[in-house]
């Protein structure tokens, strides 16, 4: 163990440590007993052997640092890891190990999971400040009363927590000390970090929801609600962008290429183009959601948190089957689309799906980058074939027709009937003469 720690210190830092220092502290190793469980945790999740070795090297360095700094295992938490990374993993030395500095953080996150599962270190401490307790109460309301998804709740709590910590720090929350000017000043500061009205609108919506909740609790916050003004955002001012028929044919013709992960990309494009699925819905699609005998697909984890049963088109089903039979790696999870990089047990996220669809655009020679474009394209195709706005809303799974009405601008068949003549144009009259 002595020579290994000495070697790891040389590899990870680019400079040797006196060997007698390593020898004197190696007998005080704190993490040796947990290394087999740590290694098994990484291997079971499909991490490559090289990554497992890298993680073990980082843990060995942490073990050495803790012994030299006289830190006990009970002190190991997120704060201690942050201190270790700040002192011992400078950015200028990270290139020595051939990895980015951020690659030293993930192995230690895995370590905390293993140690807390084994009850070797205390669980993650909750924020015991009044602000922390307030955010947990508000999160319970958002989850159980409003039914919001976790990602939406996290974004809302991040905004509200920013305001509360700015005003109250670690003290008690007293709304008598918050004036409308404070809220407007906070919004002005937040506007600097948001480039579009839509993104700033989410901040306003989060604060408005919080103040209304506090109002239901008996607090007088009507003046604070009135200080929130939603930025002007003309959502109906432009036409929704969609692929033209020629571009759809070009995209479909580009599918079926031979190469790594090509079948997965084909299946994802088909899901978005033929079913109008959002990137998050594609990522969360499970094998249990597909009824091959009935030819249907059930969306269980949608944006509105409702289940929707949709027919599975033949082309889409064939693309999914081709991926499952020929390309999907063996995993323990039941998601349809798996990561082709280790660890295979890591589920794909919406960002990864969006990247894969953008790469499909590039292979087809299309200049677009937005994955949501395929959802707009499906709506346009439905209108072109005679579907009503209500039918489009049902297929797109909109809870309100207000979310679908923008597609009315694409319904050229019905727009012709309500269009007024161009000013100055010749219009027929009842006598047969021209005006």
CATH no. for residue 186? Answer: 1.10.150
Domain co-membership, 298 together with 346: yes
Domain co-membership, 112 together with 136: no
pLDDT of residue 22: 40
Whether 154 contacts 136, CB under 8 Å:
no
Domain co-membership, 251 together with 393: yes
Domain co-membership, 172 together with 255: no
Count of H-run helices and E-run strands, the chain: 20, 3
**How far apart are the two ends of the chain, measured CA to CA in Å?**
100
- For residue 76, the enclosing domain spans 2-117
Of the residues 179, 195, 226, the one at which a domain ends: 226
pLDDT of residue 395: 77
238, part of any domain = no
Give burial (CB, 10 Å; 0-12/13-18/19+) of 32. Answer: middle
Domain co-membership, 280 together with 410: yes
Contacts of 249 (CB under 8 A, 6+ apart): none
Give the tens place of pLDDT for each residue, 111-125: 999 999 888 888 887
Of the residues 67, 87, 117, the one at which a domain ends: 117
123, part of any domain = no
Nearest 5°: the CA angle 165, 127, 148 is: 80
Domain co-membership, 353 together with 387: yes
Check: pTM over 0.75? Answer yes or no: no
Q: How far apart are CA 56 and CA 59, in angstroms?
A: 5
67, part of any domain = yes
Angstrom CA distances, 151 to 139, 148, 154, 155, 162, stand at 11, 8, 5, 6, 17
Domain co-membership, 59 together with 189: no
381, part of any domain = yes
pLDDT of residue 433: 46
Cα pseudo-dihedral 403, 409, 412, 415, rounded to 10? 100
Give the CATH number for residue 258: 1.10.443.10
Whether 35 contacts 59, CB under 8 Å:
yes
435, part of any domain = no
**Sign of the alpha-carbon dihedral angle for 36, 40, 41, 43:** positive
pLDDT of residue 417: 56
Domain co-membership, 289 together with 405: yes
Whether 198 contacts 233, CB under 8 Å:
yes
Give the tens place of pLDDT for each residue, 119-166: 888 888 777 788 999 999 999 999 988 888 888 899 999 999 999 988
Q: How far apart are CA 380 and CA 392, in angstroms?
A: 9
Q: How far apart are CA 161 and CA 232, in angstroms?
A: 25
Q: What parts of the chain have a pLDDT lower than 50? A: 1-27, 91-100, 430-435
Domain co-membership, 267 together with 217: no
68, part of any domain = yes
Q: What is the DSSP string of 365-392?
A: T-----TTHHHHHHHHHHHHTT--HHHH
Look at the chain and report how many structural domains it folds into: 3
124, part of any domain = no
258, part of any domain = yes
pLDDT of residue 136: 92
Structure tokens at 116: 């807390």
pLDDT of residue 415: 54
Q: Convert 297-327 to b/e letters by CB count within 10 Å (16 or more is b).
A: bbbeebeeeeeeebebbeebbebbebbbeeb
Give burial (CB, 10 Å; 0-12/13-18/19+) of 256. Answer: exposed
Domain co-membership, 101 together with 139: no
Domain co-membership, 219 together with 339: no
Domain co-membership, 87 together with 136: no
Of the residues 71, 90, 117, the one at which a domain ends: 117
């Amino acid at each position: 163990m002595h020579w290994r720690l000495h070697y790891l210190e040389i590899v990870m830092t680019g400079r040797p440590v006196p060997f007698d220092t390593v020898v004197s502290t190696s007998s005080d190793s704190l993490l040796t007993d947990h290394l087999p469980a740590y290694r098994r945790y990484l291997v079971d999740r499909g991490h490559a052997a090289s990554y497992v070795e890298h993680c073990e090297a980082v843990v060995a360095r942490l073990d050495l640092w803790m012994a030299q700094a006289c830190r006990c295992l009970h002190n190991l938490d997120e704060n201690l890891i942050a201190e270790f990374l700040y002192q011992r993993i400078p950015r200028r030395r990270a290139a020595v190990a051939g990895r980015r500095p951020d690659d030293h953080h993930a192995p230690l996150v895995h370590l905390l999971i293993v140690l807390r599962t084994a009850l070797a270190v205390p669980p993650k401490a909750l924020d015991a400040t009044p602000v922390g307790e307030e955010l947990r109460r508000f999160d319970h309301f958002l989850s159980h009363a409003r039914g919001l998804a976790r990602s939406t709740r996290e974004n809302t709590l991040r905004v509200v927590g920013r305001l509360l910590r700015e005003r109250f720090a670690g003290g008690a929350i007293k709304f008598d000390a918050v004036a409308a000017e404070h809220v407007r000043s906070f919004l002005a500061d937040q506007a600097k970090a948001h480039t579009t009205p839509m993104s700033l609108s989410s901040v306003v919506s989060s604060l408005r929801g919080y103040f209304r909740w506090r109002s239901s609790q008996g607090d007088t916050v009507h003046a604070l609600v009135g200080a929130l003004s939603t930025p002007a955002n003309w959502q109906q001012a432009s036409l929704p962008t969609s692929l033209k028929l020629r571009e759809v044919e070009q995209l479909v013709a580009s599918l079926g290429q031979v190469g790594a992960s090509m079948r997965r990309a084909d299946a994802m494009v088909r899901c978005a183009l033929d079913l109008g699925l959002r990137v998050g819905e594609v990522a969360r699609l499970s094998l249990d959601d597909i009824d091959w005998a009935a030819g249907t697909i059930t969306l269980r984890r949608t944006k509105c948190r409702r289940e929707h049963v949709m027919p599975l088109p033949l082309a889409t089903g064939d693309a999914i089957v081709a991926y499952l039979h020929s390309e999907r790696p063996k995993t323990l999870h039941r998601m349809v689309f798996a990561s082709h990089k280790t660890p295979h047990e890591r589920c794909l996220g919406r960002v990864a799906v969006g990247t894969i669809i953008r790469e499909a655009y590039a292979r087809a020679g299309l200049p677009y980058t937005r994955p949501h474009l395929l959802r707009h394209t499906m709506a346009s195709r439905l209108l072109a074939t005679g579907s009503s706005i209500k039918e489009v809303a049902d297929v797109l799974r909109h809870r309100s027709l207000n979310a679908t009405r923008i597609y009315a601008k694409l319904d050229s068949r019905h727009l012709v009937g309500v269009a007024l003549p161009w000013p100055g144009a010749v219009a027929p009259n009842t006598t047969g003469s021209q005006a």
